[in-house]
Amino acid sequence: MEGKETLRIAMWSPPRARSTMAMRVFEALGCAVLDEPFYAYWLKATQREEDPGYAATLAAHETDWRKVEASLLGPVPGGKAVWYQKHMAIHMLPEVSLAWMGKVRNCFLIRDPAEVITSMTEFRGLAHDVEEGARLVGIPQLARIFDEAWALEGQAPLVIDANDLLADPPGVLSRFCAAVGMPFEPATPITWAPGKHEGDGAWADAWYQKVYQTTGLEPYTRRKTVVPKALEAVVARCQPTYERMAAHRL
């Protein structure tokens, strides 16, 4: 299904915002899914050789952002009616055009910055410089993209808090799907196969081991997050952006 009948959802988030879990959910709902299409471009442009899966990602994925952009508006895998595109805001360097955002439905997945930052320390060293630390979790970039989406739509974009999704999957998904015009049956269990999925990026083995162990949404249990003292200022820098977006969450 193409053209006006195709719903392309660009779901923007910072890393470690349960974004792979959300991708699994929409895959289970019958959507075509796309995993972080600009990641290989970003790795090459920033030369972050220390990132897990660096070599495998560059070998397997497109590194020209213009070609990636064109693909996002091209044929939908399997001809499905909904194409869920998982995007990391950090990957959108200033040289990357955001003009294509006007041809997709831009939505946002957020998570408490304290949880995002403490989770990220397991995978990527975060600079203790406040601005650099915030950029390494993509919060300034996310704010820019949120503003762009708001300008395109003329109203606040759709926002999901990852913890809300875990706490009330039927409620959050019902409201989201109704807003984008996507069918959803609350009584249908949302499950998936464990392990790596066909649509996962080449970096999956390095980043998705916890998701590999899941087969569905697990009951949400709020845990106390202990932020390393050296990163407390980074969390504080990210908090206003999170709160601004959270004010519009479903």
Closest alpha carbon to 67 in 112, 31, 37: 37
- pLDDT (0 to 100) of residue 219: 81
What tokens were used for 62?
């497109």
CA–CA distance from 215 to each of 32, 56, 81, 211 (Å)?
A: 18, 26, 24, 8
Closest alpha carbon to 104 in 153, 67, 156: 153
For the chain, residues with pLDDT lower than 50 are 1-4
- pLDDT (0 to 100) of residue 128: 65
Instruction: Convert the pLDDT of each residue in 182-218 to its tens digit.
Output: 999 998 889 999 999 999 999 999 999 999 999 999 8
Q: pTM for this structure?
A: 0.94
What tokens were used for 115?
């949880």
- pLDDT (0 to 100) of residue 2: 42
Long-range pairs for 90-94: beta carbons < 8 A, 24 or more residues apart: 90/14, 90/15, 90/42, 90/135, 90/136, 90/137, 90/138, 90/141, 91/36, 91/38, 91/39, 91/41, 91/42, 91/138, 92/38, 92/141, 92/144, 92/145, 93/42, 93/45, 93/46
- pLDDT (0 to 100) of residue 18: 95
